[in-house]
DNA sequence: CTGTTAGCGCATTCAG
DNA sequence: CTGAATGCGCTAACAG
């Protein structure tokens, strides 16, 4: 039963066919998930034989002829790219639910992505979900010799399908919330403005604030990080504090909160209101009850599944698909 | 260049061989990572041809003959099994560094694991890392037709290799830290004692405290959760508070801290010291500066890599491999 | 409905 | 050192 290596010999479709007394082709048909023509009797015998042998199909071998492995690559820089675990957990569950499995590729920061992928299975997957910003859409397409690449990092172009959060919605709602609470002046803590995504995000804040008649005072440039938030928090002290502080990342908002804990007794705003961005799951812990803006994870993942189900039919007009963001109220807002 | 589907045709080794003017076999040898006999001239031409065509080997096809895919399955219940992202990030990076890729399988809570895996590539991977407690070692072995299964969930037996944290070390160090700071009395907040792992952990605390002459007063049973920690914290109020509170999970310790914030001005202990367990990365944020106990992630992953490099040679005596845990001092301790 | 044949892309004999 | 032939496990095309 065991070979020299101690590894069990895994039965092939040939073994099944022989035991069932039919040809390989018939066994293959009986075992296929699609309904191919097989007599009920033969199907019975094949299935019984397979069961008895503990046979399971080798999808790798099958992929040689069918050209599809039911494998999708998920490309990230680091794990932390998957801004939070809940999203990834959902993505994984849904992907598996449609009969595909995920091979997770960590690009790291290094540059030689292509060289790296060259030796890996990733090159031959059915489709790729690109969270990593290692490369633009053109590189990604070339890398997977196909258009079956979904850009989720904002680095899309006119040719590759993409899904991006519609940030305007959530920002509008957050600013409306502040306005409704009497906020008249605000500060903005930003990330690096070299990012196109960030530039656009900042623009949304400017316009939303203007529409609500809220005056934007200080604009403090950070880098999305917790540390930069703490520094911003320190600069927010004193008499000239605004009615509200909007941060373009939750990490920065957490930094602001930690720097100004005394201004938030019981987590409630005593001097100014605080709004973050991303709605990371950490905010559900009571230490960081920060009002934030997040996209609808379910809708986001649903779009990815739509892509996986029919990569070529997705977004035929070439326009990026938008996923709504929404405002999530917590006690700092 | 493109087929009807819009998918680019990917060059095979045949294309390379033809362009280089050699046989398939020679091209294969030249392209192989091992040094097989090929003339320098031919190697040159093959490599050039491959480069020109943008050829990359198809590892799936190769696996048909080599019987090895360089794919390892990582089995989890939910993503959160990977107690924190840092571990997983490291695991992924190291796995890729030795030329293997990770296919991540989420078991969920559902029961029909086998039926699920049966149709997937996972069944035919080179090795599996089992974090999920979906099954015991026997089931895992049967499922992958091999002994190439590393149990990391504590559900190992005498036959399958396993890696588990040596909790005694860290607990000893944490208790020593407390003793050195003059702690004479302690309380223990536990998880569900139905778990064997938890029973053992509690035992370590009992013995370490006894050895240091620290009296154990209240033992509060929780369930590892943040909420149960908060409740324990409420019960810790009043005059009879101990000098130190040890929790068998960080989440519970966070709950205790949030329930007793006023006893930790600036995060420093005013009435009692607080120790957690797991050393989750959240503790690096200033809101939860809890002294904790964690295993050495690097050592942990190193053992996994040792297994992947030589599954059959790992732990030949059948004993589980222990990974040291250590005490990590923060301000609550 | 069924069996035979011919590959999928690749590594590996085995002769030269 | 090289090329021709063989087979990995499976499905598709083709007769029957």
DSSP one-letter code for B332:
T
A45 CA to D9 C1' distance (Å)? 20
Coil, strand or helix at B14: helix
CATH number among 3.40.228.10, 3.30.750.24, 3.40.50.2300, 3.40.50.450, domain A71-160: 3.40.50.2300
pLDDT reported for residue A78: 83
Q: How many CB atoms lie within 10 A of CB B41?
A: 9
The per-residue pLDDT for range A209-264, each reduced to its tens digit, is: 999 999 999 999 999 888 899 999 999 887 678 999 999 999 999 999 989 988 99
Question: Nearest 5°: CA angle at A34, between A32 and A36?
Answer: 80
Q: Is the CB of B227 under 7 A from strand C?
A: no
* Intra-chain end-to-end CA distance of chain A, in Å: 66
B residues 184-243 near A, CB within 8 Å? 226
The per-residue pLDDT for range B151-201, each reduced to its tens digit, is: 998 877 888 899 999 999 999 999 999 999 999 999 999 998 888 889 999
pLDDT reported for residue A4: 34
pLDDT reported for residue A242: 95
A159 min Cα distance to partner chain B (Å): 12
Enter the tokens of residue B267.
């995060």
With bands split at pLDDT 50, 70 and 90, how would you rate the model's confidence at A44?
very high
With bands split at pLDDT 50, 70 and 90, how would you rate the model's confidence at A1?
very low
Measured between alpha carbons, how far is A31 from A62 in angstroms, rounded to an integer?
A: 12
Domain extent listing, chain A: 13-57, 71-160, 166-296
With bands split at pLDDT 50, 70 and 90, how would you rate the model's confidence at B6?
very low
Backbone angles phi, psi at B185, to 5 degrees: -130, 150
A112 CA to C10 C1' distance (Å)? 26
Chain A residues lying within 8 Å of B101, measured CB to CB: 103, 105, 120-122
Chain B residues lying within 8 Å of A286, measured CB to CB: 258
Q: How many CB atoms lie within 10 A of CB A9?
A: 10
Domains B71-160 and B166-296 are alike in CATH topology? yes
Q: Are B150 and B130 in contact (CB under 8 A)?
A: yes
Q: Are A250 and A279 in contact (CB under 8 A)?
A: yes
Nearest CA in chain A to B60: A60
Query: Which of A331, A286, A330, A89 lies closest to B251 in space, CA to CA?
Result: A286
Mutation test of the interface with chain B: which of A15, A56, A234, choosing the one with the most B Cβ atoms within 10 A? A56
In the block, which residue shows the tokens 């120790």?
B275
* Highest mean pLDDT (candidates B96-100, B295-299, B300-304): B300-304
CATH of span B166-296? 3.40.50.2300
The per-residue pLDDT for range A60-119, each reduced to its tens digit, is: 899 989 888 899 999 988 887 655 677 889 999 999 999 899 999 988 876 666 666 667
Measured between alpha carbons, how far is A207 from A200 in angstroms, rounded to an integer?
A: 11
Enter the tokens of residue B29.
């040898």
| Sequence-separated (6 or more) residues with CB below 8 Å from residue A148 | A126, A127, A128, A311, A312, B7
Measured between alpha carbons, how far is A229 from A245 in angstroms, rounded to an integer?
A: 11
Question: How do strand A244-247 and strand A185-190 relate by DSSP bridges?
Answer: parallel
Which single residue has its CA nearest the C1' atom of nucleotide C6? A65
Chain B residues lying within 8 Å of A312, measured CB to CB: 5-6
Q: Are A78 and B89 in contact (CB under 8 A)?
A: yes
A119 touching B (Cβ < 8 Å)? yes
B145 touching A (Cβ < 8 Å)? yes
Question: Nearest 5°: CA angle at A207, between A283 and A157?
Answer: 80
pLDDT reported for residue B82: 55
b vs e for A252-276, b when ≥16 Cβ sit within 10 Å of the residue's Cβ?
A: bbbbbbbbbeebbeebebeebbbbb
């Amino acid at each position: 039963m065991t070979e020299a290596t101690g590894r069990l010999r895994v039965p092939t479709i040939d073994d099944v066919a022989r035991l069932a007394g039919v040809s390989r082709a018939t066994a293959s048909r009986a075992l296929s998930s699609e309904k191919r023509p097989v007599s009920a009797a033969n199907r019975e015998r094949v299935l019984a034989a397979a069961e008895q042998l503990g046979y399971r199909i080798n999808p790798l071998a099958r992929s040689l002829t069918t050209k599809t492995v039911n494998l999708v690559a998920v490309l990230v820089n680091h794990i932390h790219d998957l801004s939070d675990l809940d999203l990834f957990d959902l993505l994984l569950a849904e992907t598996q639910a449609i009969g595909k499995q995920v091979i997770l590729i960590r690009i790291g920061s290094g540059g030689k992505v292509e060289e790296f992928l060259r030796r890996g299975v990733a090159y031959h997957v059915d489709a790729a979900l690109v969270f990593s910003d290692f490369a633009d859409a053109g590189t990604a397409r070339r890398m997977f010799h196909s258009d079956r690449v979904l850009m989720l990092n904002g680095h899309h172009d006119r040719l590759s399908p993409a899904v991006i959060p519609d940030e305007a919605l959530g920002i509008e709602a957050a600013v409306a919330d502040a306005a409704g609470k009497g906020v008249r002046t605000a500060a903005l803590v930003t990330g690096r403005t070299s990012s196109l995504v960030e530039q656009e995000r900042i623009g949304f804040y400017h316009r939303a604030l203007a529409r609500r008649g809220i005056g934007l005072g200080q604009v403090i440039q950070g880098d999305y990080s917790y540390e930069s938030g703490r520094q911003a928090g320190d600069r927010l002290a004193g008499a000239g504090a605004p009615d509200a502080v909007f941060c373009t990342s939750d990490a920065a908002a957490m930094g602001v909160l930690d720097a100004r804990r005394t201004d938030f007794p019981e987590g409630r705003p005593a001097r100014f209101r605080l709004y973050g961005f991303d709605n990371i799951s950490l905010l559900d812990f009571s230490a960081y009850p920060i009002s934030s803006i997040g996209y609808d994870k379910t809708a986001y993942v649903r779009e990815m599944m739509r892509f996986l189900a029919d990569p070529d039919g997705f977004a035929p007009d070439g326009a990026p698909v938008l996923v709504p963001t929404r405002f999530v109220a917590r006690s700092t807002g």
